[in-house]
Amino acid sequence: MKGMIPIFKRELYSYFHSPVAYVFIVIFLISSAMCTFLLGNFYRSNQASMETFFLFHPWLYLFLIPAIGMRLWAEERRSGTVELLLTLPINMTAAVIGKFLAAWAFIGLALLLTFPMIITTYYLGEPDSGPIVTGYFGSFLMAGAYLAITSCTSALTKNQVISFILSVSVCLVFVLLGWGVMSNILNTLFPVWLSDLISLFSFTSHFDALRRGVLDFRDLIYFLSVILFMLMVNVVILDSYKSL
């Protein structure tokens, strides 16, 4: 994994020297607050719980994470630096993981900055700490799955807008798989056993258990498997450019 740490540091450093990063954090914090207090009617629920706060994360990530991750490889390809990277004595797997971890760490920081929501919840009552911990952990893992998909689609094109659209489209499918409407559509297209199998890949169904405080290792394995698989595809895509 030679070169991973320098790439991680370079990428993470670049986020804090770009106005886009700060815009992302501000939009994420404002959007989270608006969804929780306005759409989720946090105060009217009369419950000291952050379940409403986590409820909207799959939808917030659907647009915000592709926006922050669309440049990961698309910008490298547009500027031509990816060709230089391919000629350096750096393992491509290390490069992919380094860039991914830097972006994931940045998203994790944005998630940590929502701590006022925790303070508010404890101020209003005595919430169960378990769902809060698993909710944040699950949200971070789900964010990683979104980011891994975005990193993969970013490697497919030089255009960041196309990367964004592809990422949103793919992630939207993973989100909707757990919804009844999508299940009905799948039942009309495939046998019931196959549609049920496809529905198991839903982001929302795996995240719902975590945000409610149920720590099921199958959910953790699912998100980690999506991350690892998409990063492997990412490496294969970039390695294919060597032969062009």
Cut 0.85: pTM above it: yes
Asked if the model's pLDDT at residue 122 lies above 70, the reply is: yes
CA distances (Å), origin 175, targets 12, 18, 113, 181, 231: 28, 30, 25, 12, 19
Domain of 201, in residue numbers: 4-243
Percent of the chain exceeding pLDDT 90 equals 32
- The residue that leads in pLDDT, 146 or 155, is 146
State the average pLDDT for the chain: 84
Asked if the model's pLDDT at residue 142 lies above 90, the reply is: yes
49-82 per-position pLDDT tens digit = 788 889 899 999 999 999 888 888 887 777 766 6
Q: How many domains does the chain have?
A: 1
Percent of the chain exceeding pLDDT 70 equals 87
Question: Between vectors from CA 175 to CA 201 and to CA 190, what angle results, nearest 5°?
Answer: 55
151-161 per-position pLDDT tens digit = 999 988 888 88
Give the model's confidence band at 111: pLDDT under 50 very low, under 70 low, under 90 confident, else very high.
very high
Structure tokens, 236: 């294969």
